[in-house]
């Protein structure tokens, strides 16, 4: 099986996967680091770092995607994975449910029990788009489940690929230059009614590799054309065909440090390399500079990173509460009141009245203050609720994957089980049943659940 890898995790993942699979079409820096040419061939699976650098997306042959997903999940206990119900290239019949200034929200129906919707920019639609319209649309760009973004849609048909993309109709044309001239020499022609668009990677490919890529694209194009021809406009919205499978991997802090160790076997890698690059895009150049200039230490320099990139005292950061099913809920934003070099960050939030505090059974009152103490890398964090008069109203301890304190947010994935201490001093452990359900649903692995239970038990004893 062949794998193409791109992004900030490329060195570590190349080292991790190359013993089991053929790494193809590697970037110039990867070729230099490994002192290896790597063939330019069609990939079975493409692995791309997400725009927010928190993980990777997989795209390709279904069996290949499952194989690579399984391998990457094993990197660390806090590596979480989800299948993509709307991968790039998937074609749906959908209903327009809302029109906005720049595009429309399209209900794409349910896939394997997951409701899916997408965003159709008006400039990607062939005709006028109005509410309640039924459209045939294709996913142009998929979206990770932990973001609030929807897949981007288009009404034209394309078959994505690493070396060549096929576009339905005559609007797509081969990129100019030597590659286009070489394509004319291939013994295989594009599928009827489809036009090729060769990527820059194809500049270094052999004629044989280009022919293989075009054959593969033709097979997928024919599957798309057949599904579209057979697709009915009646019935509920739904997926007609997905020529490529997709999956998403979210790397937690522990997994990022495991990837550091793998990368370190190839070249100089500072402690927290992937953690720092995930936190802030400008930090990438600083990390590369440090590693090129000197031999970094063995400890993650949280204080230095926080002073340079944040969070700093006075900043406002979000609490991004990931869920094991892939969603992320923002619990609010608070002011950073203290930052310590040991990785401790204190955040204060003023609470609006109404309702009760979850599991504490205490009323929320205007003027209450929530003081949350996060510690980088810790499997839990505590929030103390106090009234305006300073009276303690309770403590809530969230058990989660190791906390990462980024410049604009504290990030983690909640592991359901928590420990609470009421105003009367009574300590209770809650939501074990939700953790058990997440294990049964396949959202949380048993080793990760065992760690969560261990942490909860320890906190319960300490409180």
Question: pLDDT tens across 148-196, in order?
Answer: 999 999 999 999 999 999 999 865 445 556 676 777 788 899 999 999 9
Long-range contacts, 436-445 (Cβ 8 Å, 24+)? 438/324, 438/325, 441/325, 443/80, 443/324, 443/325, 444/324, 444/415, 444/416, 445/73, 445/77
State the DSSP code for 123. Answer: G
**Per-residue pLDDT averaged across 41-60, rounded?**
97
The topology under which CATH files domain 302-462 is: FomD barrel-like fold (2.40.380)
Distance, in Å, from the CA atom of 178 to the CA atom of 2, rounded to the nearest integer, reads: 25
Average pLDDT, the chain: 94
pLDDT tens, residue by residue, 87-114: 999 999 999 999 999 999 999 999 998 9
Distance, in Å, from the CA atom of 16 to the CA atom of 12, rounded to the nearest integer, reads: 6
- pLDDT of amino acid 421: 96
Distance, in Å, from the CA atom of 84 to the CA atom of 216, rounded to the nearest integer, reads: 21
**Per-residue pLDDT averaged across 50-63, rounded?**
97
Burial bucket for residue 115 (CB in 10 Å: 0-12, 13-18, 19+): exposed
Distance, in Å, from the CA atom of 341 to the CA atom of 359, rounded to the nearest integer, reads: 33
Q: Above 60 in pLDDT, residue 338?
A: yes
Q: Above 50 in pLDDT, residue 388?
A: yes
pLDDT tens, residue by residue, 112-124: 989 999 999 999 9
- pLDDT of amino acid 233: 65
Which has the minimum average pLDDT: 182-196, 245-259, 386-400? 182-196
Beta strands, E only, 306-365: 316-322, 328-339, 344-350
Contacts (Cβ under 8 Å, ≥6 apart) of 245: 58, 59, 60, 61, 62, 65, 66, 83, 84, 87
**Per-residue pLDDT averaged across 342-371, rounded?**
92
Q: Residue 353 — very low, low, confident or very high, per pLDDT cuts 50/70/90?
A: confident
pLDDT tens, residue by residue, 6-22: 999 999 999 999 999 99
- pLDDT of amino acid 172: 44
Q: Coil, helix or strand for 264? A: helix
- pLDDT of amino acid 6: 97
Token code pair at residue 421: 């201490």
Which has the minimum average pLDDT: 262-276, 349-363, 430-444? 349-363
- pLDDT of amino acid 232: 65
Q: Above 70 in pLDDT, residue 320?
A: yes
- pLDDT of amino acid 409: 98
pLDDT tens, residue by residue, 280-302: 989 999 999 999 988 888 899 99
Q: Residue 234 — very low, low, confident or very high, per pLDDT cuts 50/70/90?
A: confident
> Could you identify the residue written with the tokens 């990837």?
259
Distance, in Å, from the CA atom of 194 to the CA atom of 214, rounded to the nearest integer, reads: 11
**Per-residue pLDDT averaged across 46-53, rounded?**
97
Write out the H or E segment, with its range, that includes residue 439: helix 432-440
- pLDDT of amino acid 173: 47
Domain ranges, ordered by start, for the chain: 2-84+247-252, 91-243, 302-462
Q: Above 60 in pLDDT, residue 462?
A: yes
């Amino acid at each position: 099986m062949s794998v193409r890898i791109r992004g900030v995790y490329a060195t570590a993942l190349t080292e991790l996967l190359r013993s089991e699979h053929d790494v193809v079409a590697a970037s110039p820096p990867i070729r230099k680091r490994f002192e290896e040419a790597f063939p330019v061939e069609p990939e079975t699976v493409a692995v791309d770092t997400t725009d927010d650098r928190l993980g990777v997306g997989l795209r390709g042959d279904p069996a290949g995607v499952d194989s690579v997903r399984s391998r990457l999940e094993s990197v660390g206990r806090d590596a979480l994975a989800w299948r993509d119900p709307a991968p790039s290239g998937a074609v749906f019949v959908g209903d327009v449910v809302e029109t906005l200034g720049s595009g429309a929200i399209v209900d794409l129906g349910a896939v394997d029990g997951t409701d899916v919707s997408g965003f159709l920019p008006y400039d990607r639609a062939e005709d006028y788009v109005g509410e309640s319209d039924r459209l045939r649309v294709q996913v142009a760009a998929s979206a990770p489940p932990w973001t609030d973004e929807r897949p981007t849609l288009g009404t034209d048909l394309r078959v994505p690929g690493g070396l060549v993309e096929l576009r339905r109709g005559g609007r797509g044309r081969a990129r100019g230059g030597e590659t286009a001239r070489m394509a004319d020499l291939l013994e295989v022609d594009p599928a009827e009614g489809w036009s090729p668009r060769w990527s820059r990677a194809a500049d270094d490919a052999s004629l044989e590799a280009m022919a293989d890529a075009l054959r593969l694209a033709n097979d997928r194009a024919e599957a798309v054309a057949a599904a579209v021809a057979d697709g009915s406009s009646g019935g509920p919205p739904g997926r007609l065909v997905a020529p490529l499978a997709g999956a998403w991997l979210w790397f937690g802090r522990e997994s990022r440090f495991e990837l550091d160790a793998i990368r370190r076997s190839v070249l100089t890698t500072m402690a927290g390399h992937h953690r720092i690059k995930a936190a802030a895009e400008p930090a990438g150049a600083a990390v590369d500079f440090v590693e090129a200039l000197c031999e970094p230490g063995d400890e993650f320099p949280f204080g230095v990173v926080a002073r340079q990139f944040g969070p700093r005292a006075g900043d406002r950061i979000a609490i991004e509460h990931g869920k094991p099913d892939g969603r992320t809920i923002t619990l609010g934003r608070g002011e950073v009141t203290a930052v310590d070099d040991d990785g401790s960050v204190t955040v204060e939030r003023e609470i609006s009245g109404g309702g009760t505090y979850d599991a504490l059974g205490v009323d929320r009152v205007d003027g209450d203050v929530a003081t949350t103490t996060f510690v980088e890398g810790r499997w839990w964090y505590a929030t103390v609720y106090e009234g305006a008069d300073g009276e303690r109203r309770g403590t809530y301890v969230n058990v989660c994957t190791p906390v990462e304190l980024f410049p604009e947010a504290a990030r983690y994935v909640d592991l359901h089980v928590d420990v609470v201490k009421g105003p009367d001093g009574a300590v209770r452990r809650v939501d074990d049943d939700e953790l058990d359900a997440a294990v049964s649903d396949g959202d949380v692995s048993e080793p990760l659940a065992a760690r969560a239970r261990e942490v909860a038990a320890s906190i319960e004893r300490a409180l």
